[in-house]
């Protein structure tokens, strides 16, 4: 499991996720380096992507992060280019087929993918939205008691009758370790014209509180990857928040129509990184 916190307003999106990979059958921690954050651009959308739930099978042959970094670049680079609603349709179909091929108990294969950013049906329009692809959440994006054999999709768009700018806050994954009051607090902050950094700091406080939950906190890792994206800037800002000081920094994965990068690490020294090969 994991916890993904997504906060979106028209001007920017902030997403924070942990990196813990837990064996859901034994609740043992397998590693703390599973990237669950992806910065993605397609022909008509820019989004931050986070995922939670099933990470790999017992034989380590089906890793959800690896699968996403295969299917998302394929869809992003497809020609003729997919419009983003069609992109999501294809992702739903691919997720259903992929997870049905995995020989694990259905409830162990619960998984959700959340995307937040902007869609551009025309070059002069950018509409903020959030979308989720899941086999374990209802229409209100709440966790179901059991996983389903098929994935579906859900969307959050600004209301055409809205009287104020939209502010979306989404907790995905270990929702039992969070409270609605925490979501409301971030929502109130979004309406006060904050900076992305201020919102990221609020997400960090929620993540810290969630890891302290006596029952479900152990499902959430202590090393976190954050993404900030602004509407007025084509670049994303990446953050790494380790539990302990470390010269090693983990970056989110990247997907564009032209290229994709995964498992990027930055070494700030001293000396050479442990993975250095002469």
pLDDT at 70: 97
Look at the pTM and tell me if it is higher than 0.85.
yes
Looking at the domain that runs over 3-267, which CATH code has it been given?
3.60.20.10
pLDDT at 275: 77
Reading the chain (278 residues) residue by residue, the pLDDT tens digits are 689 999 999 999 999 999 998 776 677 788 888 999 999 999 999 999 999 999 888 877 889 999 999 999 999 999 899 999 999 999 999 999 999 999 999 999 999 999 999 999 888 999 999 999 999 999 999 999 999 999 999 999 876 555 567 789 999 999 999 999 999 999 999 999 999 999 999 999 999 999 999 999 999 999 999 999 999 999 999 999 999 998 999 999 999 999 999 999 999 888 888 877 75
- b/e burial code for range 83-122 (CB count within 10 A of at least 16 → b): bbeebbeebbebbbebbeebebeeebbbbbbbbbbbbbee
């Amino acid at each position: 499991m994991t916890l993904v916190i997504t906060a979106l307003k028209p001007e920017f999106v902030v997403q924070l996720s942990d990196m813990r990979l837990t064996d859901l059958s034994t609740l043992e921690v397998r590693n703390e380096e599973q990237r669950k954050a992806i910065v993605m651009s397609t022909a008509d959308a820019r989004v931050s992507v986070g995922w939670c739930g099933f990470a790999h099978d017992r034989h380590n042959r089906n890793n959800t992060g690896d699968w996403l970094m295969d299917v998302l670049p394929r869809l992003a680079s497809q020609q003729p280019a997919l419009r983003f609603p069609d992109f999501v349709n294809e992702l739903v179909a691919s997720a259903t087929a992929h997870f049905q091929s995995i020989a694990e108990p259905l409830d162990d294969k619960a998984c959700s993918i959340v995307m937040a950013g902007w869609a551009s049906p025309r070059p002069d329009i950018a509409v903020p939205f959030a979308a989720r692809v899941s086999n374990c959440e209802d229409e209100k994006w709440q966790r179901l008691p059991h996983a389903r054999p098929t994935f579906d999709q859900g969307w959050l768009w600004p209301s055409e009758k809205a009287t104020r700018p939209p502010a979306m806050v989404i907790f995905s994954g270990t929702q039992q370790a969070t409270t609605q009051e925490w979501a409301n607090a971030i929502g109130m902050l979004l309406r006060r014209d904050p900076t992305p950094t201020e919102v990221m700091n609020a997400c960090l406080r929620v993540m810290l509180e969630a890891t302290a939950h006596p029952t479900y906190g152990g499902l959430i890792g202590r090393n976190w990857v954050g993404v900030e994206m602004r509407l007025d800037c084509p670049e994303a800002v990446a953050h790494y928040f380790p539990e302990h000081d470390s010269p090693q920094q983990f970056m989110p994965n990247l997907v564009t129509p032209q290229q994709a990068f995964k498992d990027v690490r930055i070494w700030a020294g001293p000396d050479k990184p442990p993975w250095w090969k002469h």
